[in-house]
Structure 1
């Protein structure tokens, strides 16, 4: 099995190398990059390419590593015992399987996505070291040992909100998804909108990449936001001249709410437009 990208996902050469290396080594692939660069979608595309089931574990700030293995619902057992339910005699009835248990017992080689691992507590990655290494864990309440039928392909994403422990990093194959250059971005747009006008793409990309170069932006527009913006431009059927007209009054592009996501950046572009208009008047 080799990952070469899919019809819906443009994978660069270095990304394909990283995915295939991690799949060969069966090491977790740790993927970092700007939000909106396709880290989460990558796992789904790998699963599609390998014809493998996708098991998603979406990490939150309150997520604990134990939840990925299993949880023992003692409260439900206590309630059932008070009600005289016969289920209380088998503790296994109160063991809830986590996503890693689901991946370990999958009858077919699965892709396990641990999404946004950096959202959780700093100890979260360390608490998974043994399980990711040995691909097994013990259920202490039942005395059962859960061992992986096949070593799953593990994709772990991070937005770099916090540093991950060195011991965890040593166990991963690492890849940073660079922000797409213009040529790659054009290919991504074509995948999503094969019938889009070339002139519209060219002018939209001029504005998009110019915006990303503006100093002082709090949040640069991402790939997914560009795709949303293009979808709106096509839906509104705006003439290309609206984008091509780059005079001092049009520094903020039409439908900019798809690209600028906070008031500080909107105000930044408004100030730049005002300064350009004043400079033009003085000139």
Structure 2
């Protein structure tokens, strides 16, 4: 059982090695990288490649670790007791299984995605140390000890918004997805647009990497934004010549809103283009 990428996902050798190492070690795979580099999609493609079901636990700033295990609905039980409902005699009726419990309880091994773990409170990773290490937890309301029937393949993503605790990092296999070079990016584009004209791709990618290489950008355009931009260029039937021969008084490439996401970066590129025009007079 080895991950080697899929027809829909270009995985570098280093990334393939990281996925397979985490599976062999039976440790969570912690994936970091710029937003838009395919961290979440990796879990989807690992599940598809290995023929396993994918469970997604998307983390928010308000998410608590307990929610991944289970939640006890005491309010509903109190209401039902006031109404004389017989369900109140079985406390299990008021326990909702979280994603970790569902992964532990699955009859076959699953892939569990814990997406954007760094969005939660700083204590969130620490609160899952035992569960991720021992693959078990205790349900206090029922006295049950839940143990994983099959150890899930766990993929954890982070955008580096917060530092993660050392104790948590020790339990993970770590991989950082470097931003693709031009050759790898070309492969990714070919996967998404197999019929696209290569001349257009070359010119679009040259502009894309020129924008990315501008020092001081607050938000560099990512892989997903390049894909969106190419999709717009194709839908508007913009040719390679239009990219090469665009109006030199205009700093921005056509449909730049797919690449630039804030006004500071827009103004910076406009100033740089203005200065370049003055130098060339």
User: Which blocks of at least 5 consecutive residues in structure 2 are unaligned?
Assistant: none
Once the two structures are superposed, what CA deviation does each residue of 1:78-126 show, in whole Å capped at 9, x if it has no partner?
A: 1111111111111100000000000001111100000000000111000
Please tell me whether residue 273 in structure 1 is matched to residue 273 in structure 2.
Answer: yes
Q: Secondary structure at the match of 1:49?
A: helix
User: Which runs of structure 2 are paired with 1:121-140 in the superposition (5 Å)?
Assistant: 121-140=121-140
What is the alpha-carbon distance in structure 2 between the residues aligned to residue 263 and residue 82 of structure 1? Answer: 57
What is the alpha-carbon distance in structure 2 between the residues aligned to residue 17 and residue 90 of structure 1? Answer: 47
Per the alignment, residue 158 of structure 2 pairs with 158
How far off its partner does 1:249 sit?
A: 2.2
What is the alpha-carbon distance in structure 2 between the residues aligned to residue 239 and residue 259 of structure 1? Answer: 18
Once the two structures are superposed, what CA deviation does each residue of 1:217-267 show, in whole Å capped at 9, x if it has no partner?
A: 110000000000000000000121121136742431000000000111111
Per the alignment, residue 54 of structure 1 pairs with 54
What is the alpha-carbon distance in structure 1 between the residues aligned to residue 120 and residue 101 of structure 2? Answer: 19
Per the alignment, residue 210 of structure 1 pairs with 210
Please tell me whether residue 114 in structure 1 is matched to residue 114 in structure 2.
Answer: yes
Per the alignment, residue 26 of structure 1 pairs with 26
**Do the aligned residues in 2 keep the contact of 1:112 with 1:153 (CA within 8 Å)?**
yes
Q: Secondary structure at the match of 1:55?
A: strand
User: Which runs of structure 2 are paired with 1:66-145 in the superposition (5 Å)?
Assistant: 66-145=66-145
What is the alpha-carbon distance in structure 2 between the residues aligned to residue 80 and residue 236 of structure 1? Answer: 58
What is the alpha-carbon distance in structure 2 between the residues aligned to residue 87 and residue 247 of structure 1? Answer: 72
**Do the aligned residues in 2 keep the contact of 1:59 with 1:119 (CA within 8 Å)?**
yes
Per the alignment, residue 243 of structure 2 pairs with 243
Per the alignment, residue 177 of structure 1 pairs with 177
Q: Secondary structure at the match of 2:154?
A: strand
Q: Secondary structure at the match of 1:215?
A: coil
What is the alpha-carbon distance in structure 2 between the residues aligned to residue 166 and residue 215 of structure 1? Answer: 32
User: Which blocks of at least 5 consecutive residues in structure 1 are unaligned?
Assistant: none
Per the alignment, residue 228 of structure 2 pairs with 228
What is the alpha-carbon distance in structure 2 between the residues aligned to residue 240 and residue 134 of structure 1? Answer: 56
Per the alignment, residue 264 of structure 2 pairs with 264
What is the alpha-carbon distance in structure 2 between the residues aligned to residue 249 and residue 123 of structure 1? Answer: 52
Taking structure 1 as the reference length, what is the TM-score of the superposition?
Answer: 0.97
Taking structure 2 as the reference length, what is the TM-score of the superposition?
Answer: 0.98
**Do the aligned residues in 2 keep the contact of 1:248 with 1:276 (CA within 8 Å)?**
no
**Matched pairs, number:** 281
Per the alignment, residue 11 of structure 2 pairs with 11
